[in-house]
Amino acid sequence: MIGATMNQQDNSGGNQQLQQLYGHLDLETVDDTLFRSQHRNEGWQRVFGGQVLAQALLAASRTVPSDRQPHSLHSYFLRPGDMDHPIIFKVECLRDGKSFNTRRVSAMQHDEVILNLAASFQVSEPGLSHQSEMPQVPPPEQCLTRKQLAEKYSASLPAGMLERFSRPFAIDLRLVEPENMLAPEKRPPNRSVWLKLNDELPQDYPWHAHMLAYASDMTILETSLRPHGLSLFSSQLQVASLDHSMWFHRPFRIDEWLLYVQDSPSSAAGRGFSRGNIYRQNGELVVSVAQEGLIRMRDV
């Protein structure tokens, strides 16, 4: 096995939410290319897609040399995940070159594939560099936390939802433009979100990419709902991630603030397409994201 488990890497101690996230994402090594989830899966009614995406990337990462970092991944969500059973991750080694390594991962439950992921890894090297400019937005310190957002709209939130969004989270998410998730207004199909891990990681922690893969699936689908005055909590919607791609441009740390700038060029045929650029607070573009999700209207 190349690399250590997340629990072995963690020296941060007392953050209970972070420890729970580690547990949700960590993998047991069955053999060199076979891994298994170790804890009860995370999600509401089905396994959270970002969890399986992150675990598949982690499984692939454990089969390449430590000097190789992911530069891209492309995945398809094929079936909903069962909350009560472990997920098996089978890694296929497609290519090991001087500069690039390519892996394919099948995430399986009950002998069926629930996610397919292809990931490519590259040794660090210099090259031509340019990027799009980070937009000017308020800093994270001036944006509402999820608890403050829930308190702002507490009059319209059920008690259970208010309690859920008032508790601590391992990932700190702050919408640049606050909105009521249960009574959304029609808005342009773009928004920005600050995010970071709600704790400090060891300096040599190696798995920032898979932690960001987990976080990248939290908000991007909802961007395609904004022009329609809907949210993920709208009862007339059936929503699910269909595919998810990421390109890793520059180094970053998930325990430092990142700005996730999202837009949705199109929704049609029951699908919403969204894109995202993720910037460090100093303006460096570090990751690009694209996702298409099911946003099917149904009778209530």
The per-residue pLDDT for range 23-81, each reduced to its tens digit, is 778 899 999 999 999 877 776 667 889 999 999 999 999 999 989 999 999 999 999 98
Q: List the beta strands (DSSP E) in 208-257.
A: 237-248
Long-range contacts of 4-7 (CB under 8 A, 24+ apart): 6/207
Sequence-distant (6+) residues with CB within 8 A of 30 are 36, 88
pLDDT: is 10 or 15 the higher one? 15
Give the containing element (helix H, strand E) for 266.
strand 258-268
Q: Within this chain, do residues 167 and 42 fall inside the same structural domain, yes or no?
A: no
Per-residue pLDDT for 13 more than 70?
A: no
Confidence of residue 298 (pLDDT cuts 50, 70, 90): confident
- Helix boundaries (H) for 29-114: 49-61
List beta partners, residue 36.
28, 88
Catalytic residue check, 45 = no
Sequence-distant (6+) residues with CB within 8 A of 256 are 196, 280, 281
pLDDT digit string, tens, across residues 67-126: 999 999 999 999 998 888 999 999 999 999 999 999 999 999 999 999 999 999 999 999
Which residue range is the domain that position 110 belongs to? 1-124
The reply to whether 172 falls in a domain is yes
Q: Within this chain, do residues 36 and 152 fall inside the same structural domain, yes or no?
A: no
Q: Within this chain, do residues 164 and 68 fall inside the same structural domain, yes or no?
A: no
pLDDT digit string, tens, across residues 165-204: 777 788 999 999 988 877 888 999 999 999 999 888 888 8
Token pair recorded at residue 286:
């570090």
Give the containing element (helix H, strand E) for 160.
helix 159-166
How confident is the model over 256-276, as a mean pLDDT? 97
CA atoms within 13 A on the CB side of 118: 5
Sequence-distant (6+) residues with CB within 8 A of 197 are 18, 170, 171, 172, 211, 254, 255
Q: Within this chain, do residues 186 and 231 fall inside the same structural domain, yes or no?
A: yes
The reply to whether 149 falls in a domain is yes
Catalytic residue check, 241 = yes
Measure Cα distances from 77 to 17, 56, 82, 95 in Å. 26, 12, 13, 23
Measure Cα distances from 271 to 29, 145, 243 in Å. 36, 29, 11
Which of 10, 172, 217, 255 is flagged as catalytic? 217
pLDDT: is 214 or 157 the higher one? 214
CATH code for the domain of 46: 3.10.129.10
How much of the chain exceeds pLDDT 90, in percent? 68
Confidence of residue 146 (pLDDT cuts 50, 70, 90): confident
Last residue of a domain, one of 100, 124, 148: 124
pLDDT given for residue 44 in this prediction: 62
Which of 37, 61, 241, 262 is flagged as catalytic? 241
The model's pTM? 0.90
Q: Within this chain, do residues 120 and 221 fall inside the same structural domain, yes or no?
A: no
List beta partners, residue 239.
295
Rg of the chain taking only CA atoms, in angstroms: 19
The reply to whether 130 falls in a domain is no
Q: Over the chain, what is the mean pLDDT?
A: 89
The reply to whether 18 falls in a domain is yes
- CA 259/CA 196 separation, integer angstroms: 9
pLDDT given for residue 43 in this prediction: 65
Catalytic residue check, 66 = no
Q: Within this chain, do residues 118 and 248 fall inside the same structural domain, yes or no?
A: no
The reply to whether 61 falls in a domain is yes
Count the domains in the chain: 2
How much of the chain exceeds pLDDT 70, in percent? 93
